[in-house]
Amino acid sequence: MSLIYHSYSEYYDLVFSDRSFESEIDEILMFSKKAVNEPVFCDMRCGTALHLAELSERGHPVVGVDYSEAMVNLARDRLSDYESATVIQSSDKNVDISPRPNVITNLFSSICHTLSDTGLQAVFHNYWQNLQLGGLLILDMTKLSAVPEILEGVDSGEKYWLRTNVNPVSETIYEFSREYKINTDDEPVTFRDEFTLRYFQPEELASILRETGFEILKIQHTLGDLENRLVIVARAVSETDI
Ligand SMILES: C[S@@+](CC[C@H](N)C(=O)[O-])C[C@H]1O[C@@H](n2cnc3c(N)ncnc32)[C@H](O)[C@@H]1O
């Protein structure tokens, strides 16, 4: 289990503060409302619950799942004003959600933390078991061809400075090393982290999804205002349809 998010969970929102969730959520809601009457969301690998807060604000019941205690604490704080929002600390490979959601999301390249096909099969199998039949799975990640181009380099804002180096280990697996400097009111905080992610050709994920009980509805390369994405929308079908 990766512990990287423990080291900088409290700065996660600051570093990713220029993301616009409204347009992502607009599109996720559009997909969902076409497929189900009243969407009940579960965001797997929810991090600090940025997407779930936007869904809650719009009146939807939500559950978040994340295995990092630090991220879960931040997510619970963020959602504390919403009665129909809960956050479960668990790996998404064995979490059991009750009542069952009819939309599962996995956003912002969180699925890329799972490096092996067998790991992905276990994760998608568990998503299938948790989803109501006919429910939707929406996956969003950076597009493979854009990884070095958009993820390497220096990024900075008023409150932070971040340098990312990307080292390809294979055609789809990349090692990242990052240096952070966070400007606080006192001394700046500096730290580093290293992690490995796998990015995907659309068909790699699509075939594992089909094996685990999903029908692919849509593959596209934007989500709201975000570009250079691989977004897969799939539906849980009955075992006899597989
Ligand atoms: C890149 S962050 C994305 C968070 C969030 N989805 C967002 O859009 O900001 C990835 C998150 O996935 C969580 N994570 C990675 N693998 C996981 C797993 N197998 N089960 C549960 N959480 C996981 C990490 O703890 C981290 O919070």
Interacting residues of 117 by C-beta distance below 8 A, sequence separation 6+:
208
Same domain, 34 and 108: yes
The rounded Å distance from CA 185 to ligand 1 centre is 29
Q: If you take atom 9 of ligand 1, which residue's CA is the nearest one?
A: 47
Q: How many domains are there within the chain? A: 2
Q: What CATH number did the domain enclosing 38 receive?
A: 3.40.50.150
pLDDT in tens, 93-144: 999 999 999 999 999 999 999 999 999 999 999 999 999 999 999 999 999 9
Count CA within 13 A, CB hemisphere, residue 98. 1
Name the residue range of residue 73's domain. 3-143+201-241
Same domain, 118 and 224: yes
The rounded Å distance from CA 198 to ligand 1 centre is 14
- DSSP 8-state code for residue 236: E
Confidence of residue 242 (pLDDT cuts 50, 70, 90): low
Same domain, 61 and 34: yes
Same domain, 56 and 168: no
Does residue 110 line the site of ligand 1, with CB under 6 A?
Answer: yes
Same domain, 193 and 207: no
Q: Which helix (H) or strand (E) holds 154?
A: strand 153-156
Give the global pTM. Answer: 0.94
The DSSP string of 39-104 is: --EEEET-TT-HHHHHHHHTT--EEEEES-HHHHHHHHHHTTT-TTEEEEES-TTT---SSPPSEE
Q: If you take atom 18 of ligand 1, which residue's CA is the nearest one?
A: 91
Same domain, 41 and 150: no
The rounded Å distance from CA 240 to ligand 1 centre is 32
